[in-house]
Structure 1
């Protein structure tokens, strides 16, 4: 499933550095990870109640066998000191059965047993319930996902399940972390993680005062139309944290009814007015073709060469949107910020 449109894609745009990360070990029920330094942080008392778009979830005791689904919750849990025993497959990014590079590195560094990788071949349209049952979780975290009500209701029969607070695939990176922290009983640790990220973003903003007031639009070419990411999508929303603004034309043309993307026909591309366009691509060849395609010259920023490009599934994924483990991942957001800065200087 293509990050661009789907959950995992969610970000159409997911990404890393090692497209061929080693496959996760095939243990049906890995043991929970050994305690980390984050475990020393103050913990909340249980039971914990989490309200979300699909219901209210009560977590009676501190979870020790966590499963994650969708995007970002795996990284959030790890940053909070909890290593999930089962995680959603990111097949578009790293292939079937593999872990995202930053996730795998975190398990290796902690000496934690690798998680079961839950099959997700079609962007969440179906759910691997039997695999989840085999992993024996006591909490299922999916705050940034596309869970349906039916899927949620079924999952709650397996373990307490936490879904998204608003629309599918639009949860902010802040809420993904804070909701995960609440469900895990680690709100103090969550505040620390968010404070660290805020510091990283503040440093980027301070380093680039030229971003202030400049407008951006994020797109993915699909031949005949482009996908435009709305302000509700964290991959472009995050850029407002460093001084940029989502272009007004993005909302003026929006037909998504609150979604994270919409389709814009080639006939309307001249209306997509932004100082800078950020384009996402599977390959370098696609990125080059994007800049040379005659139809796309109708986008003012493309015609002027004001385009910052993100290429290859791993890199796309690392910024679509960034997660608790990728804000400072080399090649990801830091590199994108420098590309945007180069374009802003034109």
Structure 2
């Protein structure tokens, strides 16, 4: 099999985040998502925290850059990564500053986040600025007077962490860049930081119930193998595929699908902060999958991809067992799944996947 760890044609994150973190020049995009399993400050630790008093401060959370101590319940929170602002809002606090979201409205806010802010009766937060090379605007962050900065799903460098920590307690990625663990882990970790352990468990239970209902009502998903990738653009020789710990991949497994064992060969080649691998278009048949799910930054990329002669002959494409997400909001919701975005996405995502399983070759914009 010809494998590559070259970036997918369209990266899963906005270019400014990439340049800030990994120094990669990638086209602004979605999905998203970074990735990885995490244990520090999550899993058993955060479940144990859920049993503790919700108001127990100070709180200490270990992470890749050290340990952050939060002396008292934070009220002015800035988030510098995907998904984290959703969690903060879901737990009852409107952040004062957030990253501009790909797939959001003209102000950079997604519909599910805006709805939650309205529900809380709060004011929509300021969106953060970044330099041309992805540099954090520390002055803007300072001006917002935060008492907590959250970036669990980010690539905050050691230098960035030190500078941010001079402004307010900062919670970066726990183990590696773009590794906040599962959406449940991130919710529990942020719940611990906010002193909202019980509420975190409650919202997790609700969303897990939603996903369990989806799986129950769609038994055709169970056991179907899949791989999740990108669309192609002119000059593409490889298809970018996301590894098993990527958020968008994890979400599909929670809906009953199974990530194809064929991905192991690609995952084993992925190094560093990458959350994707690649396979030569000439070797696509080495990837055995019942269904292909992909996303496109530009809807025009979908017909281009489907017309590619090498892509066309791949079994899930030839049999029309594919689903393309080419609408930005749905792409964001399913690439960066959170306790707010998952419920919003299901009524749009499930029919798309059902059509893929049924061999109807679905594209999200076609149903708009």
Equivalent residue number for residue 169 of structure 1: 178
Equivalent residue number for residue 347 of structure 2: 334
Within the candidate set 251, 257, 263, 2:278 is matched to 263
Gaps of 5+ in 2: 1-9, 19-27, 34-52, 360-368
Equivalent residue number for residue 99 of structure 1: 109
Equivalent residue number for residue 32 of structure 1: none
User: 2:146·2:168 contact (CA, 8 Å) conserved in 1?
Assistant: yes
Q: Aligned-pair distance for 1:96?
A: 6.8
Give the total of aligned pairs: 314
Q: Does 1:50 align with 2:69?
A: no
**Higher mean Cα deviation, 291-300 or 135-144?**
291-300
Equivalent residue number for residue 244 of structure 1: 257
User: 2:104·2:329 contact (CA, 8 Å) conserved in 1?
Assistant: yes
Task: Go from structure 1 to structure 2 and tell me whether the alpha carbon gap of 1:317 and 1:120 turns closer, same or farther (over 3 Å shift).
Answer: farther
List, as ranges, runs of 4+ consecutive aligned residues in structure 1 with deviation greater than 6 Å. Answer: none
Q: Aligned-pair distance for 1:10?
A: 7.8
Note the 1:74-223 alignment, pairs <5 A.
74-90=85-101, 92-94=102-104, 97-120=107-130, 125-171=134-180, 172-222=182-232, 223=236
Task: Give the 3-state SS of the residue equivalent to 1:119 in structure 2.
Answer: coil
In structure 1, distance between residues paired with 2:137 and 2:106: 14
The CA RMSD over aligned residues, in Å, is 2.2
Note the 1:3-22 alignment, pairs <5 A.
4-5=12-13, 11-13=30-32
Note the 1:278-289 alignment, pairs <5 A.
278-289=293-304
Q: Aligned-pair distance for 1:249?
A: 1.1
In structure 2, distance between residues paired with 1:280 and 1:237: 15
What do residues 44-100 of structure 1 show as CA deviations (whole Å, max 9, x unaligned)? 21000111122210000110100011111100001100110111122x423774222
Task: Give the 3-state SS of the residue equivalent to 2:343 in structure 1.
Answer: coil
Equivalent residue number for residue 308 of structure 2: 293
In structure 2, distance between residues paired with 1:300 and 1:261: 21
In structure 1, distance between residues paired with 2:11 and 2:143: 27
Q: Aligned-pair distance for 1:315?
A: 1.6
In structure 2, distance between residues paired with 1:5 and 1:77: 20
In structure 1, distance between residues paired with 2:308 and 2:130: 33
Task: Go from structure 1 to structure 2 and tell me whether the alpha carbon gap of 1:298 and 1:119 turns closer, same or farther (over 3 Å shift).
Answer: farther
Task: Go from structure 1 to structure 2 and tell me whether the alpha carbon gap of 1:10 and 1:63 turns closer, same or farther (over 3 Å shift).
Answer: farther
Gaps of 5+ in 1: 15-41
Equivalent residue number for residue 40 of structure 2: none
In structure 2, distance between residues paired with 1:242 and 1:252: 24
In structure 2, distance between residues paired with 1:207 and 1:120: 43
Per the normalisation by structure 1, the TM-score is 0.84
Task: Go from structure 1 to structure 2 and tell me whether the alpha carbon gap of 1:10 and 1:147 turns closer, same or farther (over 3 Å shift).
Answer: farther
